[in-house]
Amino acid sequence: MAPLAVRLVRILALLGETVNAVHITNSSSSSATVHWLGTKPEVNLGATFGLPWPRGKFFPEYTAFSASDSRGQNLDLQSWATGYWPDGSLKWTGHAIPASHAVSEAYTIKATSRPSSSSRSRNSSSGIIVSETPQQVKVNTGQISVSFPKSGDIVIGGIETAAGKTVGKNGRLVLQSQDAVFDSPDVRGETPVSYFNFQSRISNVTVSDLTSVRTLVTVRGTHSPADGSASHSDWLPFVLRFYLYANSSAIKLVHSLVFDGNATTDFVTGIGVRLDIPLEGEEQYNRHVRIAGVNGGLLNEAVQGITGLRRDPGSAVRTAQVEGKELPDISTWDTRVSSRTQWIPTWADYGLSQLSPDGFTLRKRTKAGQSWLNIPGGTRAEGLAYLGGATVGGLAVGLRDFWKRYPTGLDISNASSNTGTITLWLYSPLAQPLDLRPYHNGLGEDGYADQLDALEITYEDYEPGFDTPYGIARTSEISFYAFDKTPSRETLSLLTGYLNNPPVLVTSPEHIKESGALGTYWDLPDNSSEAARTIESHLDLLAKFYQGQVEQRRWYGFLDYGDFMHTYDADRHTWRYDVGGYAWDNSELSPDLFFWLYFLRTGREDVYRFAEAMTRHTGEVDVYHIGDWKGLGTRHGVQHWSDSAKQARISQPQYRKYFYYLSGGDERVGELLEELLDTDKTYGVLDPNRKVRTDGWTPTPGSTVAMGLGTDWSALAAGWLIDWERRTPRWHESRTKLTNTMSGIANLTNGFVTGSGLYNLSSWTLGPPPADPTNRGTVSVSHLSAVFGLVEVVSELIDWFGDSDLPPGFKDAWLDYCYYFNAGKAEQKARYGVDFGNLNLYQGHSRLTAYVGRARRNETLQRRAWSEFYGTDGLKPSAPWNVTRVSGKGQVLLGEVDEASWFATNDVAQYGLAAVEDLAFVGGLLGSL
Ligand SMILES: *[C@@H]1O[C@H](CO)[C@@H](O)[C@H](O)[C@H]1NC(C)=O
Ligand SMILES: *[C@@H]1O[C@H](CO)[C@@H](O)[C@H](O)[C@H]1NC(C)=O
Ligand SMILES: *[C@@H]1O[C@H](CO)[C@@H](O)[C@H](O)[C@H]1NC(C)=O
Ligand SMILES: *[C@@H]1O[C@H](CO)[C@@H](O)[C@H](O)[C@H]1NC(C)=O
Ligand SMILES: *[C@@H]1O[C@H](CO)[C@@H](O)[C@H](O)[C@H]1NC(C)=O
Ligand SMILES: *[C@@H]1O[C@H](CO)[C@@H](O)[C@H](O)[C@H]1NC(C)=O
53-75 per-position pLDDT tens digit: 999 999 999 999 999 999 999 99
CA distances from 317 to 67, 286, 323, 415, 874 (A): 48, 11, 10, 21, 69
> Which pLDDT band, with edges at 50, 70 and 90, does 541 fall under?
very high
Please state the length of the chain. Answer: 929
Tens-digit pLDDT profile for residues 708-723: 999 999 999 999 999 9
Q: Which atom of ligand 5 is least distant from the CA of 859?
A: 1
Buried b (16+ CB within 10 A) or exposed e, 713-749: bbbbbbbbbbbbbbbeebbeebbebbbbbbbbbbbbe
Q: Which atom of ligand 1 is least distant from the CA of 6?
A: 14
Question: Is the beta carbon of 265 within 6 A of some atom in ligand 5?
Answer: no
User: What gap in Å lies between CA 924 and CA 142, rounded to an integer?
Assistant: 55
The pLDDT score that the predictor gives to residue 114 is 72
Question: Is the beta carbon of 895 within 6 A of some atom in ligand 1?
Answer: no
User: What gap in Å lies between CA 914 and CA 919, rounded to an integer?
Assistant: 8
The pLDDT score that the predictor gives to residue 891 is 77
Phi, psi of 403 (to 5 degrees): -75, -25
Asked whether residue 3 carries a pLDDT value surpassing 70, the answer given is no
Asked whether residue 7 carries a pLDDT value surpassing 50, the answer given is no
Q: Whose CA is nearest to atom 13 of ligand 1?
A: 26
User: What gap in Å lies between CA 913 and CA 654, rounded to an integer?
Assistant: 14
> Which pLDDT band, with edges at 50, 70 and 90, does 213 fall under?
very high
- Mean of pLDDT values over 669-673: 98
User: What gap in Å lies between CA 566 and CA 544, rounded to an integer?
Assistant: 16
> If you measure from the C-alpha of residue 732 to the centroid of ligand 4, how many angstroms do you get, rounded to a whole number?
22
Asked whether residue 27 carries a pLDDT value surpassing 70, the answer given is no
Phi, psi of 75 (to 5 degrees): -140, 160
Q: What is the mean pLDDT of the chain?
A: 94
Amino acid at 509: P
The residues, any chain, with a CB within 8 Å of residue 464's CB and separated by 6 or more, are: 442, 445
The pLDDT score that the predictor gives to residue 25 is 42
Which residue ranges make up each domain of the chain?
A: 4-113, 137-304+345-436+469-507
User: What gap in Å lies between CA 144 and CA 481, rounded to an integer?
Assistant: 10
The pLDDT score that the predictor gives to residue 230 is 94
SS (H, E, C) 625-669: CCCCCCCCEECCECCCCCCCCEEHHHHCCHHHHHHHHHCCCCHHH
Share of the chain above pLDDT 70, in %: 96
Question: Is the beta carbon of 371 within 6 A of some atom in ligand 5?
Answer: no
The pLDDT score that the predictor gives to residue 2 is 38
Closest ligand (CA of 767): 4
The residues, any chain, with a CB within 8 Å of residue 563's CB and separated by 6 or more, are: 555, 584, 585, 586, 614, 617, 618, 621, 622, 640
> If you measure from the C-alpha of residue 885 to the centroid of ligand 6, how many angstroms do you get, rounded to a whole number?
11
> Which pLDDT band, with edges at 50, 70 and 90, does 21 fall under?
very low
Question: Is the beta carbon of 262 within 6 A of some atom in ligand 3?
Answer: yes
Asked whether residue 906 carries a pLDDT value surpassing 50, the answer given is yes
- Gyration radius of the chain over CA positions: 29
Question: Is the beta carbon of 29 within 6 A of some atom in ligand 1?
Answer: no
Question: Is the beta carbon of 264 within 6 A of some atom in ligand 3?
Answer: yes
Q: Whose CA is nearest to atom 4 of ligand 2?
A: 206
The pLDDT score that the predictor gives to residue 929 is 87
Contacts 24+ apart (CB under 8 A), 201-209: 201/152, 201/153, 201/234, 202/149, 202/150, 202/151, 202/152, 202/153, 202/155, 205/136, 205/137, 205/148, 205/149, 205/150, 207/130, 207/132, 207/137, 207/139
Cis ω before 134 (30° cut-off from 0): no
Closest CA to 798 of 815, 781, 822, 783: 815
The pLDDT score that the predictor gives to residue 185 is 86
Asked whether residue 363 carries a pLDDT value surpassing 50, the answer given is yes
If one counts every other C-beta atom within 10 angstroms of the C-beta of residue 767, the result is: 16
Closest ligand (CA of 4): 1
> Which pLDDT band, with edges at 50, 70 and 90, does 895 fall under?
confident
What CATH number should be reported for the domain whose range is 137-304+345-436+469-507? 2.70.98
Q: Which atom of ligand 3 is least distant from the CA of 263?
A: 1
Q: Whose CA is nearest to atom 5 of ligand 3?
A: 265
Closest CA to 921 of 522, 515, 529: 522
The CA angle 458-459-465, to the nearest 5 degrees, is 90
The pLDDT score that the predictor gives to residue 894 is 84
User: What gap in Å lies between CA 311 and CA 606, rounded to an integer?
Assistant: 52
Question: Is the beta carbon of 370 within 6 A of some atom in ligand 1?
Answer: no
> Which pLDDT band, with edges at 50, 70 and 90, does 1 fall under?
very low
- Mean of pLDDT values over 850-877: 98
Q: Which atom of ligand 1 is least distant from the CA of 25?
A: 13
Mutate to test the pocket of ligand 4, among 704, 747, 772, 810 (most ligand atoms within 8 A of CB): 747
Secondary structure class of 38 (helix, strand, coil): coil
The pLDDT score that the predictor gives to residue 892 is 77
**Model confidence, pTM:** 0.95
CA atoms lying within 13 Å on the CB side of residue 360 = 28
The pLDDT score that the predictor gives to residue 29 is 59
The gap from C-alpha 425 to its chain's centroid, in whole angstroms, comes to 20
Question: Is the beta carbon of 826 within 6 A of some atom in ligand 5?
Answer: no
The residues, any chain, with a CB within 8 Å of residue 926's CB and separated by 6 or more, are: 526, 528, 529, 531, 532, 866, 919
Closest ligand (CA of 882): 6
User: What gap in Å lies between CA 253 and CA 218, rounded to an integer?
Assistant: 10
Asked whether residue 115 carries a pLDDT value surpassing 90, the answer given is no
Strand-strand pairing, 47-52 and 90-97? antiparallel
Give me the sign of the Cα torsion angle 296, 302, 303, 305: negative
Secondary structure class of 474 (helix, strand, coil): strand
- Mean of pLDDT values over 835-845: 97
Asked whether residue 557 carries a pLDDT value surpassing 80, the answer given is yes
The pLDDT score that the predictor gives to residue 125 is 54
User: What gap in Å lies between CA 787 and CA 189, rounded to an integer?
Assistant: 52
Question: Is the beta carbon of 119 within 6 A of some atom in ligand 5?
Answer: no
Do the Cβ atoms of 174 and 153 come closer than 8 Å?
no
- Mean of pLDDT values over 554-578: 97
Share of the chain above pLDDT 90, in %: 92
